[in-house]
Amino acid sequence: MGGECEVLSGSKDTMAAEKFFQYRLYLRQRPVMLALLSGFTLLFILGVTGLSRAYQAQREALGNRWFARGVADLNAKRFDAAVTEFRAALLYSRDDYNYQLNLAEALIGVHQTGQASAYLLNLWDREPENGQVNLELARIAAQKGQTADAVRYYHNAVYAAWPPDQETQRREARLELIQLLLRTNAKTQAQAELIALAENVGDDPAQQARIGDLFVRAADYEHALAAYRLSLKYDRHNSAALTGAGYAAFELGQYPVAESYLQMALSENPNDTQAEERLKITQMVVRMDPFRNQISSAERNRIVVDAFATAGERLSQCPVPKSANAAAAGSPPVSPANLSDQWAPLKPQVTERELRRDPDLGQTAMDLVFRIERQTSVVCGMPTGADLALLLIAKEHEGT
C-alpha cells in the first residue's frame, strides 16, 4: 500500500514537473512573450503617467509660488529680487508668457535692457499683437535711440489687445508715443497723433488740458486752444487750462482773447508769474497796435508816433549794417539804404499833426517800424518790452 502511494506521489511529481516545464515552454513562446511585454509596457505607461502628473503638479506649484513672490517684489519696485524670483519661476515653466513678461519688466527695472529685450522679442514672436510687449519694446527702443523701431512698437501698442482696460492702456501708449515724437522734434507726426488722441479722450477736463499742453508743445495752437476751451467748459476755474488757453491764443495772435484768458488765470492763481509776464506783453501788444478796430484817429496817430520813437530808440541801440539790412529774414527788398538813413528823414514828419494831414504817412511809418523791429531782432536777438510788442504786431499784420 505504502509503495503504491510512493509510486502515485512520484508520478504526481513527475506530472507536476512536466506541467511546469510545459508551462515554462509555453511562456517562452514569442507570441506569449510579446503579449506579456505589451502588458508590461502598458503598466509602465500608466505608472509613468501617474509620475508625470505628480511631477507636473509640483513644478506648476513651484513656478506659481516663485511668480507670486516676483510680482510682489516687482510691485514694490524691488527689481533685483523680482528678477531672481521670476528666473526661478521660469525654471519650472520655461515658456510661460506671464513669467517672461514680468521678468522682462523686472530686467528693465534693473536697467538690463539687453536681456529684457531678448525676452520681449521672444514674446513678440509668439504674440505680436500683445500691447504690453509692444509697449515695453517701444520703451527700450526709445531708450536706445532707435526712434523708428520705437514708433513702430508704439503704434503696435496703440492698436494692440489690452485686456482688461483697453481704452486707457491704448491712450497711455499713444501719449508715450507723442512724448517721444515731441522729444525727437517730429512735430507733424505728433500733431497727427494728438488729433487722434483728442478724439478718444472725450470730455475729461484734466485730459483735455493735458492734450492742450501737448498741442502747444507740438506748435499746433489752434487745436491747443480748442482743447483748453473744452477743458474749461467743464471746469472754468482750471488755472492751468486758462494759462494754456491764454498762451495758445497769444501764439495765434488773438491777443484780446489771450488777454482775457490770462487775466482769468491770474485771478485764479495770482502767483503764476509766467502768466503775469505773458499778460503784460499781451496788454502791450493790444495797446500798441495802431491798426486795431474801435480806436479814434487821434489815438491811432499817437500810437504811431510812440511806435516810431520806440523803433528809433531800438535802432540807436542796435545799428543794423547794410548787409544785414539786405539779408534780414522776411524783409522785403525795398531799399538798399540803411534803416537809420530811412528813419532819420522820416522822423520830423512823424508827428500827430502830420499824420492827421496825411493818413498814408501812418502806414509808411509803421512799415519802417516793423522793418526795424524785424531786422534788429535778427541782428541783436529777441527784444523785450515795447519792442517785443511791436515785433509781434509786425508779425500779426505782415505775417511771419
Partner 1 sequence: MDLESKPESEVLEENGDAAHTAAAMRWQSSRDLFRLVFREDRFFLVLSVFIGVLSGLAVVCFRYAIDWARLYLLGTGAVLTPARLLLAPSVAGLVIAVLVIHFFPQTRGSGVNQTKAALFIYNGYIPFRTAIGKFITSALAIGSGHSLGPEDPSLQIGACLASVLGRKMRLSRDRMRLIAPVGAAAGLAAAFNAPISAVLFVIEEVIGRWTAGILGSVVLSAVSSVVVMRWFLGSESMFRIPAVELKRPSELVAYAVLGMVGGLASVIFSSGIAAFRPLCKALPKWTQYFQPAIAGLLIGVIAMLGAPQVMGAGYEYIDQAMHGQFTWEFLAMLAGLKIVATLLSFVSGTPGGMFAPTLFIGAMLGAAVGGVQHLVLPHLTGSTATYALVGMGVLFAGFLRAPMTSVFMVLEVSGNYSIIVPVIVANTVAYVISRGLQPIPIFDLLTRQDGLDLPSMEEQREEDVLRVEDAMQPVEGPVLDAGQTLEKALTEVDHTESEHLLVRMSPSGWSTLTRQQLVDMAAQGKGASNLGSLLPLRHVPYLHPDHPLEMALRYVDRWPLVPVVSRADFRKLEGVVSQRYVLERYREFGEG
Between 130 and 243, CB nearer to partner 1 = 130
Work out how close the CB of 41 gets to partner 1 at its nearest, in angstroms, rounded to a whole number.
6
In this chain, which stretch among 4-12, 84-92, 177-185, 297-305 interacts with partner 1, using CB under 8 A? Answer: 84-92
In this chain, which stretch among 71-79, 91-99, 214-222, 326-334 interacts with partner 1, using CB under 8 A? Answer: 91-99
Work out how close the CB of 52 gets to partner 1 at its nearest, in angstroms, rounded to a whole number.
5
Work out how close the CB of 105 gets to partner 1 at its nearest, in angstroms, rounded to a whole number.
16
Work out how close the CB of 113 gets to partner 1 at its nearest, in angstroms, rounded to a whole number.
11
From candidates 7, 16, 25, 33, binder to partner 1 by CB under 8 A = 33
Do 320 and 376 meet the contact criterion of CB atoms below 8 Å apart? yes
Work out how close the CB of 18 gets to partner 1 at its nearest, in angstroms, rounded to a whole number.
21
Residues 109-138 that bind partner 1 (CB under 8 A): 114-115, 118-119, 121-122
- Count the residues in the chain: 400
From candidates 24, 30, 185, 348, binder to partner 1 by CB under 8 A = 30
CA distance 73 to 290: 66
Between 130 and 231, CB nearer to partner 1 = 130
Q: Is 155 exposed, middle or buried (0-12, 13-18, 19+ CB in 10 A)?
A: middle
Interface with partner 1, residue 23, by CB under 8 A: no
From candidates 16, 17, 45, 382, binder to partner 1 by CB under 8 A = 45
Residue type, 287: R
Interface with partner 1, residue 51, by CB under 8 A: yes
Cell 520655461 found at: 94
Interface with partner 1, residue 44, by CB under 8 A: yes
From candidates 8, 25, 48, 334, binder to partner 1 by CB under 8 A = 48
**59-69 residues labelled b (16+ CB within 10 A) or e (exposed):** eeeebeebbeb
Report how far Cα 373 is from the mean position of its chain's Cα atoms.
Answer: 38
Would you state the cell numbers that stand for residue 169, as one nine-digit string? 492702456
Interface with partner 1, residue 41, by CB under 8 A: yes
Work out how close the CB of 245 gets to partner 1 at its nearest, in angstroms, rounded to a whole number.
50
DSSP, residue by residue, 85-133: HHHHHHHH-TT-HHHHHHHHHHHHHTT-HHHHHHHHHHHHHH-TTBHHH
Number of residues that bind partner 1 (CB under 8 A): 33
Interface with partner 1, residue 308, by CB under 8 A: no
Work out how close the CB of 84 gets to partner 1 at its nearest, in angstroms, rounded to a whole number.
5
Between 70 and 383, CB nearer to partner 1 = 70
CA distance 352 to 350: 7
Residue type, 190: A
In sequence order, the 6+-apart residues with CB closer than 8 A to the CB of 92 are: 59, 60, 62, 63, 66
Work out how close the CB of 55 gets to partner 1 at its nearest, in angstroms, rounded to a whole number.
5
Q: Treating both helix axes as pointing N-terminal to C-terminal, what angle do 339-346 and 297-317 enclose, rounded to 10 degrees?
A: 140
CA dihedral defined by 289, 290, 293, 299, rounded to 10 degrees? 120
In sequence order, the 6+-apart residues with CB closer than 8 A to the CB of 290 are: 300, 303, 304, 307, 362, 366
Work out how close the CB of 28 gets to partner 1 at its nearest, in angstroms, rounded to a whole number.
7
Between 28 and 77, CB nearer to partner 1 = 28
In this chain, which stretch among 27-35, 207-215, 237-245, 376-384 interacts with partner 1, using CB under 8 A? Answer: 27-35
Q: Is 388 exposed, middle or buried (0-12, 13-18, 19+ CB in 10 A)?
A: middle
From candidates 2, 3, 31, 164, binder to partner 1 by CB under 8 A = 31
Interface with partner 1, residue 195, by CB under 8 A: no
Interface with partner 1, residue 28, by CB under 8 A: yes
DSSP, residue by residue, 296-329: -HHHHHHHHHHHHHHHHHHHHHSPPPHHHHHH-T
Which residues make up the interface to partner 1 (CB under 8 A)? 28, 30-31, 33-34, 37-38, 41, 44-45, 48-49, 51-52, 55, 58-59, 62, 66, 84-85, 87-88, 90-91, 94-95, 114-115, 118-119, 121-122
